[in-house]
């Protein structure tokens, strides 16, 4: 698979922007506001539309642009899983535009590349206190060690959850069971490799992405 080697991966195992030609989310307005643009401009912006990149295992690992996604498909590195309702035309052909592509060869994404941070924990838990199951602004949430640190609980994806101050206070130095609290769901490592990018995008992304992002 000689073509695969051209895709660069940085020291933390992530695709570099050069490798997948990443787009900056939010740099374009809603599609409607572009409707007055010239055809060539629309084609250019269509080529910059974000495409969800899945690993061979269907795990979402990146976001790239239509242009780069089509290059990966032409090289035989990836195949389309979902299509846009749009086409681009070359001299001889009309090409369907992908919305989701999947790499044909599995890429190892090291666990440590999924940065464990307060921001990512809140994203994973969708700003929902995992004990009272209410949604709060980030400023009103803290991170709770499910097994308290004072009792050997570690700062890991599996032991940290979003928690409101009230629940955090009432839990104190106890396990949820001891405090009579129940976790909304078992905390797991974040499977979205490029969480920030993806999360910013899915707010206004088409539904073709959803089944890959929420499961």
Q: Which residues of 14-24 are buried (b: 16+ CB within 10 A; e: fewer)?
A: bbeeebbbbbe
Residue 129 to residue 162: CA distance in whole angstroms: 5
Q: Restricting to residues 146-165, which ones interact with Zn ion according to CB under 5 A?
A: 164
- H or E stretch including 85? strand 78-89
Q: Is the Cβ of residue 15 or residue 131 nearer to Zn ion in the bound state?
A: 131
Closest to 77 in 3D by CA, of 52, 102, 51: 102
Does residue 63 interact with Zn ion by CB under 5 A?
no
* Contact between residue 125 and residue 162 where contact means Cβ atoms under 8 Å apart: yes
Query: Which of these ranges, 6-14, 71-79, 127-135, 191-199, lies near Zn ion under the rule CB under 5 A?
Result: 127-135
Does residue 167 interact with Zn ion by CB under 5 A?
yes
Shortest distance (Å) from residue 188 CB to Zn ion: 20
Does residue 141 interact with Zn ion by CB under 5 A?
no
Q: Is the Cβ of residue 49 or residue 144 nearer to Zn ion in the bound state?
A: 144
Query: Which of these ranges, 40-48, 101-109, 129-137, 189-197, lies near Zn ion under the rule CB under 5 A?
Result: 129-137
* Contact between residue 60 and residue 20 where contact means Cβ atoms under 8 Å apart: no
Does residue 109 interact with Zn ion by CB under 5 A?
no
Shortest distance (Å) from residue 133 CB to Zn ion: 8
Select the residue interacting with Zn ion from 9, 132, 179, 184 (CB under 5 A): 132
Residue 12 to residue 111: CA distance in whole angstroms: 9
Residues near 24 by beta carbon (within 8 Å), at least 6 away in sequence: none
**Site size toward Zn ion, by CB under 5 A:** 5
| Residues lying near Zn ion in the complex (CB under 5 A) | 129, 131-132, 164, 167
């Amino acid at each position: 698979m000689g073509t695969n080697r051209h895709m660069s991966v940085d020291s933390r195992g992530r695709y570099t922007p050069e490798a997948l030609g990443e787009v900056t989310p939010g740099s374009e307005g809603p599609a409607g506001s572009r409707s007055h643009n010239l055809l060539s401009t629309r084609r250019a912006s269509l080529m910059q539309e974000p495409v969800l990149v899945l690993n061979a295992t269907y795990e979402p690992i990146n976001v790239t642009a239509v242009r780069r996604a089509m290059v990966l498909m032409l090289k035989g590195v990836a195949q389309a899983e979902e299509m846009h309702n749009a086409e681009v035309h070359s001299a001889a052909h009309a090409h369907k535009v992908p919305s989701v592509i999947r790499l044909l060869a599995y890429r190892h994404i090291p666990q440590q590349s999924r940065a464990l941070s307060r921001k990512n924990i809140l994203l994973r838990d969708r700003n929902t206190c995992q004990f009272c199951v209410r949604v709060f602004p980030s400023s009103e949430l803290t991170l709770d060690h499910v097994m308290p640190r004072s009792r050997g609980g570690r700062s890991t994806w599996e032991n940290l959850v979003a928690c409101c101050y009230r629940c955090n206070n009432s839990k104190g130095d106890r396990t949820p069971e001891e405090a009579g609290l129940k976790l909304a769901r078992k905390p797991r490592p974040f499977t979205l490799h490029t969480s920030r990018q993806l999360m910013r995008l899915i707010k206004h992304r088409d539904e073709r992405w959803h089944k890959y992002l929420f499961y």
